[in-house]
Amino acid sequence: MPLNNFITDLAIKLGATRSAIVKASDISFSASFRDLCEMNTCGKFNTNWMCPPAVGPFEDLKNQVLAFDSGLVIQSVYFLEDSFDYEGMMNAMAIHEKTFRLILDHIKTEHLLNPILALNAGSCQYCENCTFPGKDCPYPDHALASVESYGIDVTALVTACGIPYNNGPASVSNVGMIMFNSEI
Ligand code: SF4
């Protein structure tokens, strides 16, 4: 089975709602997504090693992504009771985090893709409390930045690989991506 089919099937078997391959050349970047981080709409700006500003300058992060030729896009869709279902929103993120890390661990353990760059949704949640800014990150191999913090347009990303961004009323869709080289 071709590698791309194998890893998209694997992501679904391990719990993703949808998965697809995007070409790096089809990924849209904009510094404006970093501006949204700086407006602190999520409340995580300057609180986590993997969020801006600590994660690094936009151009450097963009170049990190473009050092690879392909990305495995992983989407988790969760349906809320209604648009005020805060507990459901938290569950949606927890389920996505667990699924994304399961897929990532499997890819690493089985040496399916190497090297890789993994980007998740939201701030790094590996520790209950991030050590930022007092102590260095003690788990750099497990720390995950977000697709958004790298200045990637998530709507354009999923559209580029045929995945719907909006999955209906009262749904929450979280997206992560694992960059890799299809030809070594
Ligand atoms: S692994 Fe822990 S200390 Fe490191 S960025 Fe993530 S939450 Fe912060």
Please work out whether the CB of residue 144 comes within 6 Å of at least one atom of ligand 1: no
Alpha-carbon torsion 35, 176, 131, 107, what sign?
negative
Contacts of residue 26, Cβ cutoff 8 Å, sequence gap at least 6: 160, 161
> What is the Å distance from ligand 1's center to 9 Cα?
29
**Which atom of ligand 1 lies closest to the CA of 131?**
3
Confidence grade of residue 184 (pLDDT, cut at 50, 70, 90): low
Band of residue 90 on the pLDDT scale cut at 50, 70, 90: very high
User: Which of 44, 46, 47, 50 has most ligand 1 atoms within 8 Å of its beta carbon, as the pocket-test mutant?
Assistant: 50
pLDDT tens per residue, range 101-146: 999 999 999 999 999 999 999 999 999 999 999 999 999 999 999 9
User: With a 6 A CB cut-off, is 120 part of the ligand 1 pocket?
Assistant: no
Q: State whether the beta carbon of 54 lies less than 6 angstroms from ligand 1.
A: no
Question: How much is the average pLDDT of 98-102?
Answer: 98
User: What is residue 89's three-state secondary structure?
Assistant: helix
Give the residue from 42, 68, 26, 39 showing the smallest Cα distance to 162: 26
45 lines ligand 1 (CB under 6 A): no
Report the percentage of the chain scoring pLDDT > 90. 90
Would you list the domain boundaries of the chain?
Answer: 3-180
Whether 51 lines ligand 1, by a CB cut-off of 6 Å, is no
